[in-house]
Amino acid sequence: MNLWFTEILYGFFQTSLRVRRVLAEEKTPYQHIAILDTDFFGRVLTLDNVIQLSERDNMGYHEMLTHVPMLAVENPRRVLIVGGGDGGTLQQVLRYPSVEEVVICELDRRVVELSREHFPFFGDPWSDPRVRLIIRDAFAFLQENPGQFDVILSDTTDPIGMAERLFSDEFYRLMVNSLTPGGAAATQCEQMFFDVNLIQRIYQTARKLVRHPAYYYAHVPSYPGGVIGFMYVSNVPWTNGLDKPYPPGENRYLNPQIHRAAFALPEFFRRALEEVEQAS
């Protein structure tokens, strides 16, 4: 078979993976889902023809999204994951013995069902009794749950279609309002080379809401440009987590050196965020 999956983004950039076989493909009321078995990257989830994760390199995304805020918070007990239907972020959260409940607010039940079937490398975290899956819109759920969560992780697709709302000022306000005092959030926050204006706007919003917002990033080769960023949102500095031991289980990406270095920004991008600071 000489089948290739090609993702085209920004109108000028594309990524192609050679596909061994299509494991699942369907159109739901919300999106097109495909799970592919590929050369080198292993099993890959795509939503609306955009790569969400691969078996080979998902650890860069899931470990960095999860552990940076989880370590910054003292003994996190209640965690909310917005999106995250593939189970990768959930797997990482459940490593913390202090966690009593994890709520996953996912819009599309089929993402959960298909991922549970085809991604055994996540170890079926859905069977953990601490997990509560809610199939609904995250906006309404956040409005109904102010001050309830020690950590919130926004594990979202790119800001296209319905997911565009998850990059809005309103979403960030609702998210911060749903944190407990001393809580922290982290969001998928796009790519520093391709999305400077979007990240500047989100950083500006975050600065109005919390004392210690910060942008950081991870290397994920299957994503556009090989890099993905996150926004840390909290009144607690991210450096609070630097000297803490990692939770039980194995990290495949994060270590103390990577943890600190993830916040060291290239000069062009550091200046871009400095412009936001000077303007506010």
Q: What is the CATH number of domain 3-54?
A: 2.30.140.10
CA dihedral 114→119→120→124, nearest 10 degrees, is -60
What pLDDT does 171 receive?
Answer: 94
Confidence check: pLDDT of 71 > 70: yes
Between the alpha carbon of residue 72 and those of residues 47, 134, 189, 216, 235, the distances in Å are 31, 26, 19, 14, 10
Between the alpha carbon of residue 131 and those of residues 123, 124, 125, 153, 188, the distances in Å are 14, 11, 8, 14, 21
Q: How many percent of the chain have pLDDT more than 70?
A: 99
What pLDDT does 44 receive?
Answer: 98
Rounded distance between C-alpha atoms, residue 21 and residue 54, angstroms: 14
What pLDDT does 55 receive?
Answer: 98
Q: How many percent of the chain have pLDDT more than 90?
A: 93
Asked if 136 and 83 touch (Cβ cutoff 8 Å), the reply is no
What pLDDT does 1 receive?
Answer: 57
Mean pLDDT of the chain, nearest integer: 96
In angstroms, how far is the first alpha carbon of the chain from the final one? 55
Question: For the stretch 226-245, what's the b/e string if a residue is b when 16 or more beta carbons lie within 10 angstroms of its beta carbon?
Answer: ebbbbbbbbebebebbeeee
**Domain spans, the chain:** 3-54, 58-279
What pLDDT does 117 receive?
Answer: 97
Tens-place pLDDT, residues 163-178: 788 889 999 999 999 9
CATH 3.40.640.10 fits 58-279, yes or no: no
| Burial classification of residue 7, based on how many CB atoms lie within 10 Å of its CB (0-12 exposed, 13-18 middle, 19 or more buried) | middle
Confidence check: pLDDT of 161 > 80: no
What band does 250 get if pLDDT is binned at 50, 70 and 90?
very high
What pLDDT does 206 receive?
Answer: 97
Pair of tokens at residue 125: 């975290």
Report which secondary-structure segment, H or E, holds 102. strand 101-106
Catalytic residue set: 155
What pLDDT does 11 receive?
Answer: 87
Between the alpha carbon of residue 88 and those of residues 61, 125, 200, 207, 224, the distances in Å are 9, 8, 28, 29, 20
| Burial classification of residue 4, based on how many CB atoms lie within 10 Å of its CB (0-12 exposed, 13-18 middle, 19 or more buried) | exposed
Q: pTM here? A: 0.97
What's the rounded mean pLDDT across residues 220-238? 97
Tens-place pLDDT, residues 72-93: 999 999 999 999 999 999 999 9
Confidence check: pLDDT of 63 > 70: yes
What pLDDT does 154 receive?
Answer: 97
Asked if 238 and 68 touch (Cβ cutoff 8 Å), the reply is yes
What's the rounded mean pLDDT across residues 27-37? 97
